[in-house]
Structure 1
């Protein structure tokens, strides 16, 4: 009973730790929003999207969906376009005027849409979930598979809440806004880099 839990926990933690578009966005919103409660839409959306991907992978449905060449191409193309657009928004945001910028650039609706997009339109995240979590879950059956899936989901929820809190603390310490300005530029570069890599993947196919 403990084996599938620890297996899922460590596996999911290893997948979620690396710097990626989803992590960058959650951290940024934790830092940029005037109050922590205003970052909750991003945290909940990212966590729910990860939960959906994990459940789909564990149930084996994702293997059927991603078995289609055209679905993978559409997914990569949409992800590339979105990352380019989001990188542009992030590059041009000005943390020195957090309240106004947050309202103008990241309204409640945009927070949810962006968080869902960086979770569901990220081919790398989907491939990792399907290829690693989905494949690893095959060894478990019944209750053990449920425990494995629960551990993976628990990591996502704990991680996104913790990441947003770290962003919140960083935002409070950085009264000048200079750190967040640099972070935004780096975040945009990460997004554009991911988009270029996706474009290369699409062209090479």
Structure 2
């Protein structure tokens, strides 16, 4: 039980820590929204999506999904197109515009956008279904459940913390220069990820 919990914590933290599309989106929303509570739809949606993917992975769907070639190809192609579009939108966006647009975003729109960032992100899918799903095969019974719950908890805590740090940065950086720089960096990361997936495809 303890070894499964420790394994789940280290694995989930290692997978979720890098600056990816999902993390950047949550951080940006935290920095751009006028109040932290306005970021909750994004944080909750990303957390629920991760919970869904991790649960599917641990309960054995990973073997089915990764074993069917056309599903894997479809996920990769969809993810590449999504990352290219997201990179373009992020590169062109300006902090002042995003603040105005962000205030007008309904919770429904935030939920849809966060869900697309989470569920159409090939790295998130491959990390959860591929890595976590495969790692869970070494456990059974209560140890397997413990492993899954710890992975899910790490995801929830990380997304909440990321949004809080984003809000803090947004309060300090009133000029919006840091967010503009972050947008450019985020776009490059998205395009780089898309190119990597394209070459691997």
Q: TM-score, normalised by structure 1?
A: 0.91
- SS of the equivalent of 2:67 reads coil
Distance 1:137 1:30, change over 3 A: same
Alignment of 1:1-205 (within 5 A): 1-103=1-103, 106-202=105-201
CA contact (8 A) 1:96 1:176 kept: no
Rounded Cα–Cα distance in structure 2 between residues aligned with 1:131 and 1:181: 34
CA contact (8 A) 2:34 2:103 kept: no
Rounded Cα–Cα distance in structure 2 between residues aligned with 1:122 and 1:5: 26
Rounded Cα–Cα distance in structure 1 between residues aligned with 2:120 and 2:98: 27
Rounded Cα–Cα distance in structure 2 between residues aligned with 1:153 and 1:48: 9
Rounded Cα–Cα distance in structure 2 between residues aligned with 1:91 and 1:103: 20
CA contact (8 A) 2:47 2:156 kept: yes
CA contact (8 A) 1:95 1:180 kept: yes
Unmatched 5+ stretches in structure 2: none
Distance 1:44 1:136, change over 3 A: same
CA contact (8 A) 1:93 1:101 kept: no
Rounded Cα–Cα distance in structure 2 between residues aligned with 1:181 and 1:200: 29
Rounded Cα–Cα distance in structure 2 between residues aligned with 1:139 and 1:98: 45
The size of the alignment, in residue pairs, is 201
Unmatched 5+ stretches in structure 1: none
CA contact (8 A) 2:53 2:125 kept: yes
Distance 1:22 1:169, change over 3 A: same
Rounded Cα–Cα distance in structure 2 between residues aligned with 1:94 and 1:102: 12
Across the aligned residues of Structure 1 and Structure 2, the Cα RMSD in angstroms comes to 1.6
Give deviations 1:151-183, integer Å, cap 9, x for gaps.
000000000000111111000000111111111
Q: TM-score, normalised by structure 2?
A: 0.93
- SS of the equivalent of 1:60 reads helix
